Amino acid sequence: MGRVLVVEDDESLRQVVADVLLAEGFSASQANDGRSALSLLRSEELRPDVILLDLMMPVMNGWQFREAQLADPSLASIPVVVMSALETTDIQADARLTKPVELEALVSTVSHLLQSERPRN
């Protein structure tokens, strides 16, 4: 169905989200912070169709990740869904999910982004 990168520092939540995505037919890769996610993306080992992004993480938080992603032309077009308990609008995102994340809303949001996504080279 589509490739999703889950960027979340809470290991149990990250695993639950990945497991749900896998059960729904998506492939799911995981990173525990923004820096790890950027390394995966830039290594060309991973080119997801959607990124699920936590904001509050150690090492590199979601705001820092998003700034770096948008500054990199090869990564800027990948849609991002922010998952956070914070009710913030100060980050550019394609969608937002409030924690605790409702798994049905998560799957629906990812599916919607994949259906509306423009083809990338």
Q: What percentage of residues in the chain have a pLDDT greater than 90? A: 81
Is the pLDDT reported for residue 44 higher than 80? no
- For the chain, the average pLDDT equals 91
pLDDT of the residue at 36: 96
Per-residue pLDDT tens digits for 49-89: 999 999 999 999 999 999 999 999 999 999 999 999 887 66
The Cα–Cα gap between 110 and 112 comes to: 5
Q: What is the DSSP string of 27-39?
A: EEEEESSHHHHHH
Domains in the chain: boundaries:
3-116
Is the pLDDT reported for residue 46 higher than 80? no
Mean of the pLDDT values across residues 27-40? 96
pLDDT of the residue at 118: 47
The Cα–Cα gap between 50 and 52 comes to: 7
**CATH code that applies to domain 3-116:** 3.40.50.2300
| CA nearest to 75, candidates 22, 108, 121, 21 | 121
* Residue with the larger pLDDT of the pair 118 and 107: 107
pLDDT of the residue at 117: 59
